[in-house]
Amino acid sequence: MAQTKAGTRSLAPSGAIMVAGCLIALLSFGPRSAMGAFQLPILGSRPWGAENFAIGLAVQNLLWGVGQPFSGALADRFGSRLVLIAGAVLYAAGLALMGGVATPLGFDLSAGLLIGFGLSGASFNLVLSAFAKLLPPEKVSFSFGAATAAGSFGQFLFSPLAGGLIASIGWEGASLIFAALVLLIVPLSSFVASPAAPPALHHGGEQTVGAALQQALGHTSYVLLVLGFFTCGFQLAFITVHFQRYVVESGLNPSVGYWAFALVGIFNIFGSLLSGYLGGIMPRRYILSSIYFARAAATLAFITLPASPSAALTFGAITGLLWLSTVPPTSSLIGVMFGARHMAMLYGFAFFSHQVGGFLGVLLGGFLRARTGSYDIVWYLSIALGVISALLNLPIVEARAAPLAQPAE
């Protein structure tokens, strides 16, 4: 059995905890990352515009972020298992109902509201927090990279799977199959059941949620980290939802988009593991800054070179190396600054910033494409934000945050 940092023992050995957590990351991230493959089939079978699809996915990203601090706080207080189960049920319900909706409002409620809140309770963010509480300290850094890589592998699996299912049984049937797969999170959650309300692991005593949040929001390095994470969400959500359409409108076969996005997933495995490894031997702020600079450079090259299958596939591979590689250094920096006691909640607030960026990336992509006939403005905005975030991460101080000053008696 694995020894938890709270001084209790989990019911599963470390290996089982890591495998189950990685499978949860794979199953939660896979269907969500393949949502872009549904855009053209949905628009072809429903009397909607691209704006309606963009609104639904933008709502999904925003509510995922809105719900994350609350689901994180609940997991910190009551343990991760019940939160993961509730999230999986909502996620699966959203996918199942999405296939039968006939109106944009129905799409907003299923693909937007239900999947968004479902993701906030069933995504790998809670898995990372459970790993921090359940696994020995020497395994935590690697486990963060492994869970992130597993989510990436889910993207690699589900992107071509979505394309194949949509082509064979239609997008409605594909959404039902994805819903059934997401429900597998329910039994897996028992293996990553973190203890309820463990004692604080720093500053020598119990710290309330409000005090932890006040400390974090008053800490400059945490604020810079959160602001930089906004760009990550903007870039990833825009590409996830709109990349497939951009490829088709550039004159390429839809299969190029599917396989390019699959390369994002497979190369992200290596990028996430490398990022987790490097986080143990070099400053994490330099890792994050390099990732954002490299994303900006790769995007600029992709949109200025002539459209071709090789360019799209190369962009997919490079983007994959940089895709979720921000997660291990970001989550571990929060652990370094504040410890594991409130990590799910504090990472949830950082992730809220990420998802606000994702909301704007999806929404601007849809609306500006409809208004201008091109994605160019959003591509260049993504490049500019990448440079800004690279600069924001450089001043971060990688040390334990000072405790809040205690009021005089």
Q: Where are the domains of the chain?
A: 14-198+207-393
Residue 408, pLDDT > 70, answer no
* Mean per-residue pLDDT of the chain: 86
* Residue pLDDT, tens place only, 211-260: 888 888 888 999 999 999 999 999 998 998 889 889 999 999 888 988 89
- d(CA 342, CA 201) in angstroms, rounded, equals 9
Please name the residues in contact with 314: beta carbons below 8 A apart, sequence gap of 6 or more. none
| DSSP labels, 93-141 | HHHHHHTT--SHHHHIIIIIIIHHHHHHHHSHHHHHHHHHHHS-HHHHH
Residue 206, pLDDT > 80, answer no
* Residue pLDDT, tens place only, 107-153: 999 999 999 999 999 987 788 888 878 888 777 777 888 888 888 78
Instruction: Output helix, strand, coil percentages for the chain, rounded to the nearest 5.
Output: 80, 0, 20
* Residue pLDDT, tens place only, 65-110: 888 888 888 887 888 899 999 999 999 999 999 988 889 999 999 9
14-198+207-393 has which CATH code? Answer: 1.20.1250.20
Residue 192, pLDDT > 90, answer no
Q: Radius of gyration (Cα) for the chain, nearest Å?
A: 20
Predicted confidence at residue 202, as pLDDT, reads: 42
CA atoms within 13 A on the CB side of 34: 32
Residue 188, pLDDT > 90, answer yes
